[in-house]
Amino acid sequence: MEPSVSVLHWFDFICPFCYVGQQRDDILERRGLDVVHLPFQIHPEIPDGGVEAGPRNGPMYAALEREAAAAGLALNWPERLPNTRRALAAAEWIRLHQPAVSGDFNKALFAARFVHGEEIGDRAVVEQHAGRVGVDLEALRAALDDGTALAALAESESLGVRLGVRATPTWLIGGEVVSGLLPQAEFERLAEKAISRA
């Protein structure tokens, strides 16, 4: 039996590169790597209620649209940029306390933002999607209210900072920090390298 190789992956629900990065996670998981998804807020300066996003024109946005299409992901640009702190705190609490539905929750929040244009900075939206995937809402609400979910998020971010995370998405694969949405073939190579080292 091959040894299990863990990969750490930091993400933010606001980040379109992270949205497409779900497909890169799929590559790693298909190769047998255990991907641990850790939230990391990249725009803490955005206020509650969010801000207008502005136009999405230019080569970077066109490239992201092509990458999303290649990954089989619908991509509709939301009109606003949310403050994601509460959503990320919920994600980390769910990862720690209800890991069986953690992946479903993350996928649901990414789709809420980049497919349906929902306001994921709104606590009611976060709780609605959590409830749909089977999260214990009473326990989640308590963790959001008493600060334990936010404390868990702060720990995830602190670990990321110590390991060199400066942007999302970032992966730690076989001891190597990989930042940004690298080509699919590069993730295949990184997976192979991590497995061979193990």
Q: Stretch 17-31: mean pLDDT, rounded?
A: 96
pLDDT computed for residue 197 by the predictor: 86
Average pLDDT, the chain: 95
- The residues, ordered by sequence, that sit 6+ positions from 82 with a Cβ below 8 Å of its Cβ are 13, 14, 46, 50, 113, 119, 120, 121, 122
List, in order of start, the domains of the chain with CATH numbers. 6-197 (3.40.30.10)
pLDDT surpassing 60 at residue 2: no
pLDDT surpassing 50 at residue 1: no
Q: Which two tokens stand for residue 197?
A: 């080292």
Q: Stretch 187-194: mean pLDDT, rounded?
A: 94
Q: Stretch 22-48: mean pLDDT, rounded?
A: 96
Q: Are 92 and 109 in contact (CB under 8 A)?
A: no
pLDDT surpassing 80 at residue 109: yes
Closest by Cα among 157, 89, 156 to 123: 89
Q: Stretch 50-69: mean pLDDT, rounded?
A: 94
Q: Give the global pTM.
A: 0.95
Q: Stretch 126-151: mean pLDDT, rounded?
A: 98
Note the pLDDT tens digit of each residue in 170-186: 999 988 999 999 999 99
pLDDT surpassing 90 at residue 119: yes
